[in-house]
A and B are shown apart, each in its own frame.
Chain A
Amino acid sequence: MNVKTPKTERKRSSSGKGRKVFRNVVLWIVVLLLLFFAGMHLLVLINGTDDTAFPERGVARILTPIQNGFQQVVNWVDNYFYTLKLRSRLELEYNTLRQENEQLTYQAMLTQELEHKLSVYENLYDDISTNDSMNPIVATVVGKDPGNYFSVFVINKGSNDGIRDYMAVTVDNAMIGYTYNVKPNSASVRTIIDSEASIAGLISSSRDQGTVRGTLGINGEPLCRMYYLPEDHLPRPGDMVVTSGVGDLINEGGISKSFPKGIPLGTVRESTRGMESNKQYIVVEPMADFQHIEYVIVWRYQAIAENVEDRTSSGDDLGYVPLDTIVPVPTIQIGSDFYQLAPTPTPTPEPTLEPDASPSPGDLMTDTPTPQLTPNGNLEYQLPSGVQTDNSFNFTLPPTATPSPTPEPLDLTVEED
């Protein structure tokens, strides 16, 4: 059975065959052309002459502008991606550097804070180690009264740490106040600029004693005034005012309001005396910085009243009954100054030899030594025979240096030319 092929398929197959033939012809032409070009190029390479280089010159002439244009496009795309990459990298680096900068800033702040703490601790340690016998303790300021008339703050140490009322509080080698209202775990500190504060002080140069009080409640200034100074002496500006160690005695519990002697309070601002309700005063500028108090030292030493020996006496005896006395006022060494007024340690006297028999003046006068001329021209005193120098006056004169002979004068004559 013969099946007739449709007309359309016959047409398609014939056209497909034609296309294939045409394509093959084109390809063969291209191949031949390529072989021709390659052959010409080989001839150029072999002969070394440009006679047969016309095909490659033509190809190069066509390819060069196309290649240039394509290269520009590629460069543009390349630059675009490079810019994108650079931008992302820059952004990344910027973010990284920013983070690093923040970290460094934080570290710098931390370092600064630690440096400050270290310096504070060093000062505190110096004070504490120098006056270890005063039983010091470091406390941190945990609260401040923001009032304009009183200056008090709260520290984080209390009676559990051995703190009692009226203990001296210092910072940076200067007294800033004393404790009061002590609780188990905290205590209040009244500063010396508070007008309620009253501390016995003395001027270190003249030893004039008085009472130092704060002026914050009087005129709002963070200063002190010193009252009850002797009228016959004029303090000089810059004179140091320190605690005098003199204070009240509080019988309850035997606690004294006196502070260790020698803690600097401030300096005399001016020698002109002011007058306040018939009381003369001088202005004292406190040494401590009351605006930046973070750590303080509380000196837990307190003079405890104790009985004098043989105090116990019978009730009928109306004889002398010794009063309560406090133990000797301690001294405190702050900074380079050492304030030590009482008790002053007396040096142990060295034993001296007592003369066995004091010679009478007559004996000495009778045997007056006569000077004799020595061979080298010096005068020499001879003691009379029988008189021993060791037992006479219990000292010997040190030998004097023998004078050396005067050198010959130099010949200073000048020869004339």
Chain B
Amino acid sequence: MLGKLIKFSVLTLLAYLLQVTTVDSIALWGVAPNIALALISIVTVALGRKYTFVMSMVIGYCLEIMVPALDYINLILYPVAAMLAALAFSDKTERKLEEERTRGKKRLQLNAHLRAPLAALLSILLFEGIHMGYISLSGVELDSGHWRRALIDVGYTTLLSAVLQFPIRWWLGTYKLKKAR
């Protein structure tokens, strides 16, 4: 029990530290990915919505007080984006699954390995969209460079979550869980 909490805490701290220290080193064509959102989306699929909220809240709060670029934005945007992705791509509850089963739906939910990058895609799209909107409302005319950078960021973050989910899920012990009958 404590192991899971400790692993979750370490993963949260690692996500924050990687986001504030490493992203510049792994930038592609000058565009840094959002490691924090990639890891949050992995946690969304692997551990569920509660952990997603806590992790996104902690990361947003730490980023807000340690690297404040804009007031409120990290504190609000990380939990909002993460919870939106969790709403769409986290494991469905037993009640929801039962409802869909009774409705005769064949495919109940997507494979977890597919849902993690999709969750990252959704959250980073929201994240980038809000940033672009903020920039546009600030009076900056958006050009192809902005769109190009945003697209690279979206693709890179999605790719990171797709790649990193395997070691993180293995480390969290997700592959050891028995399937529910």
Task: Name A residues whose Cβ lies closer than 8 Å to a Cβ of B.
Answer: 19, 22-24, 26-27, 30-31, 34-35, 37-38, 41-42, 45, 56, 59-60, 63-64, 66-67, 70-71, 74, 77-78, 81
Contacts of A37 in B (CB 8 A): 61
CB-based contact A41/B21 at 8 Å: no
Q: How far is B4's CA from A350's CA once the two chains are assembled, in angstroms?
A: 129
Contact with A along B166-179 (1 / 0, CB 8 A): 00000000000000
B58 within 8 A of A: yes
User: Residue B58 contacts which of A22, A34, A60 (CB distance < 8 angstroms)?
Assistant: A34
Q: Which interface class (under 10, 10 to 19, 20 to 34, 35 or more) fits B?
A: 20 to 34
Contacts of A60 in B (CB 8 A): 65-66
Contacts of B62 in A (CB 8 A): 59, 63
CB-based contact B65/A22 at 8 Å: no
Considering the complex, give the chain A residue whose CB is closest to the CB of B23: A74
Contacts of B21 in A (CB 8 A): 67, 70-71, 74
Contacts of A81 in B (CB 8 A): 25
CB-based contact A70/B5 at 8 Å: no
CB-based contact B72/A45 at 8 Å: yes
CB-based contact B61/A63 at 8 Å: no
Considering the complex, give the chain B residue whose CB is closest to the CB of A20: B1
Given known contacts A34-B57, A66-B13, A67-B17, A41 and B5 CB-to-CB distance under 8 angstroms = no
Q: How far is B25's CA from A177's CA once the two chains are assembled, in angstroms?
A: 77
11 residue pairs of the A-B complex, CB under 8 angstroms, read: A30-B58, A34-B57, A37-B61, A41-B61, A42-B72, A42-B75, A59-B62, A59-B65, A66-B17, A67-B21, A67-B66
Task: Name B residues whose Cβ lies closer than 8 Å to a Cβ of A.
Answer: 1, 4-5, 13, 16-17, 20-22, 25, 50-51, 53-54, 57-58, 61-62, 64-66, 71-72, 75
Cβ distance A39 to chain B, nearest Cβ, rounded Å:
10
Given known contacts A34-B61, A45-B72, A67 and B54 CB-to-CB distance under 8 angstroms = no
Cβ distance A413 to chain B, nearest Cβ, rounded Å:
95
Considering the complex, give the chain B residue whose CB is closest to the CB of A22: B1
Q: How far is B74's CA from A45's CA once the two chains are assembled, in angstroms?
A: 13
Q: How far is B65's CA from A37's CA once the two chains are assembled, in angstroms?
A: 10
Contacts of B54 in A (CB 8 A): 27, 30-31, 34
Cβ distance A19 to chain B, nearest Cβ, rounded Å:
4
Given known contacts A31-B53, A45-B71, A67 and B61 CB-to-CB distance under 8 angstroms = no
Given known contacts A23-B4, A34-B57, A74 and B64 CB-to-CB distance under 8 angstroms = no
Contacts of A66 in B (CB 8 A): 13, 17
CB-based contact A78/B61 at 8 Å: no
Contacts of B25 in A (CB 8 A): 74, 77-78, 81
Contacts of A45 in B (CB 8 A): 71-72
Q: How far is B5's CA from A26's CA once the two chains are assembled, in angstroms?
A: 9
